Structure 1
Amino acid sequence: MRKMFVLTFIFVCGALFGREGGFVGNKSLEISCISHERTEDIIEFQVNRYYIDTVFIEGKRYSQVCLPGASIWLKKGYPETSQICKKYNNS
């Protein structure tokens, strides 16, 4: 049975699409995602430029996490939900 959970992204990046790319200051984004394995959780991502630096899942900290395509997601301003679902369904 699929259950819904919420991903909360906190983007800590440079100037908006400047030379280094990224965002101005802190940026938060919440998206809904379907998962086979999780109930409703809040997952917090801290992003350093284009790469996901730290992930908090259910109060546990995971450092130096790198999800495929993170640089593309941040350039667009949002993650690709299907890729994140795939990541967490397989973990």
Structure 2
Amino acid sequence: MPAEASSLIPPALDQLREHPEVAPEDVPGLLDRLAQVPDPRDPRGVRHPLAGVLALAACAVPAGGNVTAGCRRVDHRRSAPRAGTRRRAARPPVP
């Protein structure tokens, strides 16, 4: 008697085959899905819609971006960056 396969891939593929074909127009787009995410931010401080911020993050991560580094509070009243910021910006990117 042969041993049972330990991989879960064939059963998962069998489940996918059972579903009918879906037309592309029946599948909601990324922005439509992101617009359904509830916004936990205080409305008084919102500058950009949450769906747009999430879409940019979703595009940045596969491209190698570090989303958490860019999501800190920015003081827009300051006219010039600090010396440490200028030093970091002048460094070559880490491969």
Relative contact order higher in (CA < 8 Å, ≥ 6 apart): 1
Higher helix share: 2
* TM-score above 0.5, yes or no: no
Higher strand share: 1
Which TM-score applies when normalising by structure 1? 0.24
Which TM-score applies when normalising by structure 2? 0.24
Bigger Rg over Cα: 2
